[in-house]
């Protein structure tokens, strides 16, 4: 039998590595079949030599991740434990080597799952990337982080955010206010992410200068977008014509990310989703990547993953797959 004591450098580190309470430590004890005794600034591991060694190695991986600037939180710690148990300890270390630096004073952004890592790496290596997956998988958030990073490094000179205003049929003229006020409700998820990565003053200044631009998808027609990082959100609600129009706006030295959730198509049944069609037509074109995120990549509240799965199962049981939509939405390709 063996023992090892893990000493923490300070209370914040202790909280970060144990999710701030005994529940995660009990989870570790069960996972490795060991005993854990915890105090404010240390934990003692007890059990067979091999099990104690593995548990200590797991804590060291968590410490290495934290030292890179990542804060895992309860969800991240649980994900890390599952990954380690699957024999992916070294891969887990590498996951958090992908760091996205945003504005000064804002914490760096890290992919939190292996699927998110593949998505970010696709953006880094392709000019056009499609991020497809259910709610909560970080599609929009990571795209925004990459856009801010590219802007601050000087890789692009502006960020353009767009989304189909399907609820208003793209006919926004009857709404009160200027274009910004009309489209704001539809782009709120993009703004929420942006405010995590830049100060409000910087955002306002860049919008006034046209460095950050927001517009409904219909306003993209006839333009050529050079030296820009362009994000099309909620792309499952584009028509075939809109998707083709958008993709052909891309100009020189530009980057484009298209995000969508094929389980949330709001188009009329007679309209095919431009995102579904794009995946079918463009999947084999060099320079275009399709990153498929799944329930395993959900990084919101732990119940979100269960909600998504429950709705998916209910849809299959009560409605069955429908042509071109549910089949694609519920059976994502690799």
Residues, the chain, total? Answer: 334
Q: Bridge partners of 45?
A: 4, 36
The enclosing H or E element of 177 equals none
Mind listing the pLDDT tens digit for each residue in 261-288?
A: 998 888 888 889 999 999 999 999 999 9
Tokens encoding 69:
């600037």
More confident site: 37 or 1 = 37
- Asked whether the predicted pLDDT for residue 216 surpasses 70, the reply is yes
Residue 331 in this model has a pLDDT that exceeds 50: no
Residue with tokens 């095919």: 272
- Residue 42 pLDDT: 93
Instruction: Output the pLDDT for position 205.
Output: 95
Say whether pLDDT at 84 is over 70: yes
- For the chain, give every residue range classified as CATH 3.40.50.300: 114-330
- Dig out the tokens for 77 from the structure: 């710690």
Residue of 250, 215, 201 whose CA lies nearest to 229: 250
Which residues, other chains included, contact 203 with Cβ-Cβ below 8 Å and sequence gap of 6+?
194, 195, 212
Please tell me the distance from the alpha carbon of residue 91 to that of residue 258, in angstroms, as a whole number.
27
pLDDT in tens, 146-182: 999 999 999 999 999 998 876 544 455 555 566 666 6
The boundaries of every CATH 3.30.1370 domain in the chain are 2-95
* The pairing of beta strand 212-216 with beta strand 158-163: parallel
Is the predicted pLDDT of residue 81 greater than 80, yes or no? yes
Fold classification of 114-330 (topology level): Rossmann fold (3.40.50)
Place of tokens 């079949």: 33
Class of domain 2-95 (CATH, top level): alpha beta
Beta-carbon count within 10 A of 323 CB: 8
> Token match 């084999």: residue?
284
């Amino acid at each position: 039998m063996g023992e090892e004591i893990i000493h923490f450098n300070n209370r914040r580190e202790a909280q970060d590595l144990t999710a701030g309470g005994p529940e995660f430590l009990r989870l570790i004890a069960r996972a490795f079949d060991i005993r854990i005794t915890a105090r404010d600034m240390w934990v003692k591991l007890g059990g067979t030599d091999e099990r104690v060694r593995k548990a200590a190695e797991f804590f060291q991986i968590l410490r290495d991740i934290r030292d890179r600037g990542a804060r895992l939180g309860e969800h991240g710690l649980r994900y890390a434990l599952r990954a380690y148990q699957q024999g992916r300890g070294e891969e887990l270390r590498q996951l958090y080597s992908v760091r996205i630096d945003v504005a000064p004073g804002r914490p760096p952004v890290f992919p939190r799952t292996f699927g998110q890592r593949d998505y970010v790496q696709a953006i880094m290596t392709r000019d056009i990337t499609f991020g497809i997956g259910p709610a909560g998988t970080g599609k929009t958030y990571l795209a925004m982080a990459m856009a801010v990073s590219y802007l601050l490094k000087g890789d692009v000179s502006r960020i353009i955010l767009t989304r189909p205003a399907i609820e208003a049929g793209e006919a926004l003229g009857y709404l009160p206010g200027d274009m910004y006020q009309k489209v704001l409700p539809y782009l709120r998820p993009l703004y929420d992410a942006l405010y995590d990565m830049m100060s409000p003053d910087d955002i306002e200044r860049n919008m006034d200068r046209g460095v950050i631009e927001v517009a409904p998808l219909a306003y993209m027609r006839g333009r050529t977008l050079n030296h820009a990082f362009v994000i099309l959100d909620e792309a499952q609600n584009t028509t075939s014509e809109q998707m083709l129009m958008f993709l052909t706006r891309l100009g020189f030295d530009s980057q484009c990310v298209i995000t969508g959730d094929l389980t949330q198509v709001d188009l009329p049944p007679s309209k095919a989703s431009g995102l579904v069609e794009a995946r079918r037509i463009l999947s084999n074109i060099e320079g275009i990547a399709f990153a498929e995120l799944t329930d395993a990549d959900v990084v919101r509240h732990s119940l979100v993953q269960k909600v998504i799965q429950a709705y998916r199962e209910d849809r299959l049981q009560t409605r069955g797959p429908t042509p071109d939509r549910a089949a694609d939405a519920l059976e994502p390709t690799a």
